[in-house]
Structure 1
Amino acid sequence: MSVEIKEVKSKKELKQFVKFNIELYKDCPYHVPGIIEEEMVTLSRDKNPAFELCETIYFLALRDNRIVGRIAGIINRKSNEIWKQNHARFGFVDFIDDKEVVDALFAAVENWAKSKGMNAVHGPMGFTDLDQEGMLVEGFDQLATMATIYNYPYYPVHLERLGYVKDQDWHEFKIYIPEKTPEKHERIAEIVKAKHGLKVMKFTRTKDIMPYVQQIFDTLNKAYTPLYGFVPLTQKQIDYYVKMYIPMLRLDLVTLIIREADDAVIGFGITLPSLSEAMKKAKGSLFPFGFIHLLKALKTKPKVVDLYLIGVLPEYQNKGVNALIFNDLIPIYRSLGVEYGESNPELETNSAVQAQWDYFKREHHKTRRAFIKELK
Structure 2
Amino acid sequence: MISVQPISSKHDWNLFFEFPNTLYRDNPCYVPTLLLDERWNFNPRKNPAFEYCETIAFLAKQDGKVVGRVAALINHKLNKAKEQAYMRFTRYDVIDDIEVSRLLFAAVFAWGREKGMDTIIGPIGFSDLDKQGLLVDGFDQMGMFITLYNHPYYHDHLTQLGFAKDIDWVEYKVFVPKKPDPRIERICKIAQKRHGYRLLSFSKKKEVIPYAHQMFHMYNESFAKLYGFCPLSDGQIDMAIKQFFSLVSLDYIFVVVDALQSVIGFGIMVPSLSKPLRASRGRIFPLGFLHILKALKTHEVLDMYLIAVKPEYFGRGVNAIIMHEGIKRAIANGVLYAETGPELENNDNVQTQWKSFHTEQHKRRRCYIRPLTEESVQ
Q: Distance in 1 between matches of 2:64 and 2:266?
A: 49
- Counterpart check, 1:317 vs 2:314: yes
Q: Deviations over 1:335-361 (max 9, x none)?
A: 111000001100001011100100000
Residue range with higher mean Cα deviation, 127-136 or 177-186: 177-186
Q: Counterpart of 1:295?
A: 293
Q: Distance in 2 between matches of 1:242 and 1:332?
A: 23
Distance (whole Å) between structure 1 residues aligned to residue 147 and residue 279 of structure 2? 17
Question: How far apart are the structure 1 equivalents of 2:56 and 2:100?
Answer: 18
Paired residues of 1:15 and 1:40 also in contact (CA < 8 A): no
The more displaced of 284-293 and 345-354 is 284-293
Paired with 1:227 and 1:72, the residues of 2 have a C-alpha distance of 23
Written as runs of structure 1 = structure 2, the 5 A alignment for 1:327-342 is 327-342=324-339
| Per-residue CA distance 1:102-136 (angstroms, 9 max, x = gap) | 10011111111111110111000111111100000
Specify the SS of the correspondent of 1:292.
helix
Whole-angstrom distance in 1 between the partners of 2:158 and 2:5: 21
Asked if 1:286 is matched to 2:284, the reply is yes
Deviation string 1:220-254 (CA, Å, 9 cap, x unpaired) is 11111111111111111111122222122201111
SS at match of 1:342: strand
Q: CA deviation at 1:299?
A: 2.1
**1:46-73 deviations in Å (ceiling 9; x for gaps):** 2211111101000000111111000001
- In the alignment, is residue 276 of structure 1 matched against residue 300 of structure 2? no
Partner amino acid, structure 2, of 1:195: R
| RMSD, matched Cα | 1.0
Amino acid aligned to 1:65? G
Which position in structure 2 is the counterpart of 1:241? 240
1:35 aligns with 2:39: no
In the alignment, is the contact (CA less than 8 A) between 1:133 and 1:149 conserved in 2? yes
2:359 counterpart of 1:362: yes
Tell me the secondary structure at the aligned position of residue 190 of structure 1.
Answer: helix
1:209 matches 2:208: yes
| Cα contact 1:8–1:58 (8 A) shared by 2 | yes
Amino acid corresponding to residue 30 of structure 1 in structure 2: C
Aligned equivalent of 1:352: 349
Q: 1:372: which partner in 2?
A: 369
Q: How far, CA to CA, are the matches of 1:211 and 1:44 in structure 2? A: 27
Instruction: Give, in whole Å, the separation in 2 of the partners of 1:5 and 1:298.
Output: 41
State the 1:38 CA deviation: 2.1
Residues 318 and 352 of structure 1 are in contact (CA less than 8 Å); yes or no, is this contact kept in structure 2? no
Q: Aligned to 2:246, what secondary structure does the other structure show?
A: helix
SS in 2 for 1:97: coil
Query: 1:362 is matched by which residue type in structure 2?
Result: T
Map of 1:13 onto structure 2: 12
Q: Does the Cα contact within 8 Å between 1:171 and 1:368 map onto a contact in 2?
A: yes
Q: Normalising by the residue count of structure 1, what TM-score does the alignment of the two structures yield?
A: 0.97
Deviation of the 1:304 alpha carbon: 0.3
- Tell me the distance in 2 between the aligned counterparts of 1:225 and 1:171: 19
Amino acid at match of 2:264: I
Q: Where does residue 136 of structure 1 map in the other structure? A: 135
> How many percent identity over aligned positions?
45
CA distance in 2, matches of 1:355, 1:284: 34
Whether the 8 Å CA contact 1:270–1:309 is kept in 2: the answer is yes
Tell me by how many angstroms 1:373 deviates: 0.2
Structure 1 residues without counterparts, runs of 5 or longer:
none
Specify the SS of the correspondent of 2:188: helix
SS of 1:151's partner is: coil
Aligned partner of 1:87 in structure 2 is: 86
Question: What residue identity is the alignment partner of 1:351?
Answer: D
**Which blocks of at least 5 consecutive residues in structure 2 are unaligned?**
374-378
Alignment of 1:139-150 (within 5 A): 139-150=138-149
Cα separation, 1, equivalents of 2:204 and 2:152: 43
| Structure 2: distance between partners of 1:354 and 1:211 | 30
Measured in 1, the distance between the counterparts of 2:135 and 2:201 equals 35
**Kept after mapping to 2: 8 A contact 1:5/1:60:** yes
- The structural deviation recorded for 1:174 is 0.3
In structure 2, what is the equivalent of residue 59 of structure 1? 58
Say whether the 8 Å CA contact 1:56–1:72 is kept in structure 2: yes
Structure 1 position 196, deviation (Å) = 2.3
Tell me how far apart the structure 1 counterparts of residues 281 and 148 of structure 2 sit (CA, whole Å).
16
TM-score by length of 2: 0.97
- Measured in 2, the distance between the counterparts of 1:129 and 1:20 equals 24
* Superposition deviation, residue 35 in structure 1: 2.1
Partners of 2:46 and 2:287 lie apart in 1 by 25
- Contact 1:82/1:231 (8 A) holds in 2: no
Per the alignment, residue 227 of structure 1 pairs with 226
